[in-house]
A and B are shown apart, each in its own frame.
Chain A
Amino acid sequence: MDTQNADARPVISARASSASASGTRKTLPMPVRYAINAVLVLIFLVVGELMIDGGVITRYQSTVLEQVGIYIILAVSLNIATGYLGQLPLGHAGFMSVGGYGCAIFLTRMMPVLGLTARDFVTGSPVCVFLLIGGLLVGGVCAAICGIIIGIPALRLKGDYLAIITLAFSEIIRVVMLNIDAVVGFKLTGGAAGLTGIPGYTNFLNVFITVVVVCFLIHTMMKSRHGRAILAIRDNEIAAEASGVNTTYYKTLAFVVSAFFAGVAGGLYAGCIGVMQPAVFGFMKSIEILVMVVLGGMGSMLGSVISATFLTILPEALRAFSEYRMIVYAVVLILVMIFRPQGLLGSYDFSLSRIIERVMNRDFPWKKKQTVRAEEVSADA
């Protein structure tokens, strides 16, 4: 959402915005905006790759980075349902596990068919790239199908009730993963022992690219008629319905898109850890992801990214004090909830293009107040 900070909203902004709408304001054309963002992404990517190749970042640290990326995807995807749609689902880990299993089973079954070994994924042959993209899509689609099945009945409920039912559904998914082998009669998920032999296809490069693609797709969805309908439901469901928004459809859509990207993240997670165990995707995992969204600010993509990064690195950094890290984790959360209940960034979203436009127009926050005041004076006179 392209919004200013909730606190920083000008109380009387009509005059300021009418001045900016008068046509003198310089804006960046769309291709330039995209070019700026693409350059920014490339710089990040190249610097990251160089640091990993040069050994500045150790193997362990790059694994942490991969997990940061996976948690970013999980947080921004949950943010669709929580921040944009305004519902409170607690079953995100369930979708993640479905996606993870879907992707891992697809890849491990396809490898012998195509005559590939786990080593091919590490070296990265073209077939493997396509197979990996296919695997992540399969994971996403599996999760999205679960999202539809769960979403249609669950989204009739609101608030706490929705939280409870989604929580129950994710527990059902976990138990299904645990016991499905005995039901189908052959080895599918590996039960409690877990699914092993997953090739380690996840690396910094593909996690980074997936994060960028997911953030782009969520951003573009929210900045379209579909996104506006979802935001309208959050702001006022009755009015949205009276304005022709099919609330059932858009609630389900937001929920399913959220589940789809969680499934993609699960696919990357499977390749990062190498073993899929149902016990990992319990209630606490869902809470962990929800905390990232709430901490970052509901409805702020940048907030989700920052808090996912912070909350993934923090426990790793505190590993030396592993006895106390949960305490620190809790204290950080309590402090944020006391001093910034709307989350670190509220609903603010970062836009480099907007900052550049402001510089182009010499339109700085400290300058704006003065011009408004000057206009008021001239209006009085």
Chain B
Amino acid sequence: MPSTNRKRSALVQLETPNLIPERDLGHTPVLEAQHLGIEFGGLKAVDDFNIAMGRTEISGLIGPNGAGKTTIFNLLTNVYRPTRGTVLLDGVDTAGKSVAEVNKMGIARTFQNIRLFNDMTVEQNVLVGFGNAMTTHLLTDMLRLPGHWKQEAEFHERALELLDIFDMRGFADTWAGNLPYGAQRRLEILRALATGPKVLLLDEPAAGMNPAETEELMENIQKIRDEFQIAILLIEHDMSLVMGVCEVVGVLDYGRIIAKGTPEEIQNDPKVIEAYLGKQEVN
């Protein structure tokens, strides 16, 4: 794995228990969660979750099954309403906003189990994401006024350019449901990018991929960050991916962050080893 020779920006400790890459210092964190928590009945699914993400940071969230990783994504995108705590996107509180509004504000996500619009073409899938940037009135579209043609032509072009990122232009007219598995995952990322996010949340992007595909995905995640200048937060079980691309890694266990740091620090943290492997008996 070429993970070790990738150059990483140095991390800086904030006053809060958060780390961000040095290059993002001096800007407000693009995504900030403070004391975020949710309870289902008596169960604290997530408890006192804090994060501050730099504008171009790639962060990872790992943890055993059922630790609450996807719940955090659902909290950040307002699918669930947090029992306590706040989420700030670029300094703006997202409380009370609908899922679609949060997306328009700049948080886009993918899903653990792929959720594409299977009965639409690849291009149409991306165009749904571009809906945030499209402005034509219903009557302009229905009556096919010049504004409609202009906009459709513009976004057709932009959709194809976006598909070029993952070399998917040739698939533009294919039904999304007929794509091979890996391409479906890539399309889901592209659809999220089309919504014009500031933060991209990837829920297990490498699930079901072979090592070669994971390697390619790693390249792509960095490419996306460099080209779009956005922050990426990903949940992943594939450690080669997490250790390869993430600058900051948080470890979640029973809804709590038990460790946070660079991938190297995390790999050697006794608490993390305990969470994954159990405690070593000393006799």
Contacts and interface: CB of A to CB of B under 8 A. Distances in A.
Given A235-B117, A241-B99, A246-B100, A229 B171 contact: no
Contact of A17 (B98, B130, B171): B171
Contacts of B143: 217, 220
Contacts of A227: 141
A221 B117 contact: no
B183 to A, nearest CB: 8
Given A240-B128, A244-B129, A3 B111 contact: no
Contacts of B191: 243
B130 to A, nearest CB: 8
Contacts of A12: 178
A221 B173 contact: no
B86 interface: no
Contacts of B151: 225
B8 interface: no
B117 A240 contact: yes
B58 interface: no
A243 B127 CA distance: 10
Interface string A14-26: 1001101100000
A169 to B, nearest CB: 24
A358 interface: no
Contact of A239 (B104, B117, B152, B178): B117
A264 B130 CA distance: 33
B3 interface: no
Most chain A C-beta atoms within 10 Å of own C-beta, residue among B132, B143, B173: B173
| Most chain A C-beta atoms within 10 Å of own C-beta, residue among B118, B129, B131 | B131
Contacts of A239: 111, 115-117
A345 interface: no
B192 interface: yes
Nearest to B144: A220
A246 B178 CA distance: 27
B224 interface: no
B142 interface: yes
B74 to A, nearest CB: 10
B124 interface: yes
Nearest to A241: B99
A348 to B, nearest CB: 12
A21 B118 contact: no
A226 B144 CA distance: 13
Interface string B119-135: 11000100111111010
Most buried by B among A9, A21, A229, A244: A244
Nearest to A217: B142
Contacts of A13: 173-175, 178
A60 B109 CA distance: 59
A225 B136 contact: yes
Given A9-B175, A11-B178, A244 B116 contact: no
Interface string B14-55: 000000000000000000000000000000000000000000
A231 B119 contact: yes
Interface in B113-170: 115-120, 124, 127-132, 134, 136, 138, 141-144, 148-149, 151-152, 169-170
Contacts of A234: 119
B56 interface: no
Contact of A253 (B111, B138, B179): B138
A220 B142 contact: yes
A229 to B, nearest CB: 6
A183 interface: no
Contact of B127 (A228, A236, A253): A228
Contacts of B118: 235-236
Contact of B99 (A217, A220, A224, A242): A242
B59 interface: no
A247 B100 contact: yes
A238 B148 CA distance: 27
B172 interface: yes
A351 B116 CA distance: 26
Nearest to A218: B142
Contact of A228 (B108, B116, B131, B173): B131
Contacts of B175: 9, 13
Given A220-B142, A221-B142, A225-B136, A232 B99 contact: no
Interface in B168-206: 169-175, 178-179, 191-192, 194-195
B100 A221 contact: no
Given A225-B127, A229-B131, A17 B174 contact: yes
Contact of A14 (B99, B115, B170, B192): B170
Contact of A243 (B101, B103, B119, B174): B103
A224 B129 contact: no
A227 B108 CA distance: 22
Contact of A231 (B117, B132, B171, B173): B117
Top 4 A-B pairs ranked by shortest CB distance? A18-B170, A224-B141, A239-B115, A235-B117
29 contacts: A9-B178, A10-B178, A11-B178, A13-B178, A17-B171, A17-B174, A20-B173, A21-B172, A30-B149, A220-B142, A225-B127, A225-B131, A226-B138, A228-B124, A231-B120, A235-B117, A235-B118, A235-B120, A238-B111, A239-B111, A241-B99, A242-B77, A242-B100, A242-B103, A242-B115, A243-B195, A244-B195, A246-B100, A253-B138
Given A13-B178, A238-B115, A241-B99, 20 more contacts: A9-B178, A14-B179, A21-B170, A217-B143, A220-B144, A224-B142, A225-B130, A226-B138, A226-B141, A228-B131, A229-B128, A234-B119, A235-B116, A240-B128, A242-B109, A243-B129, A243-B192, A244-B100, A244-B131, A245-B128
Interface of A: 3, 9-14, 17-18, 20-21, 30, 217, 220-221, 224-229, 231-232, 234-236, 238-248, 253, 347
Interface of B: 77, 79, 98-101, 103-104, 108-109, 111, 115-120, 124, 127-132, 134, 136, 138, 141-144, 148-149, 151-152, 169-175, 178-179, 191-192, 194-195
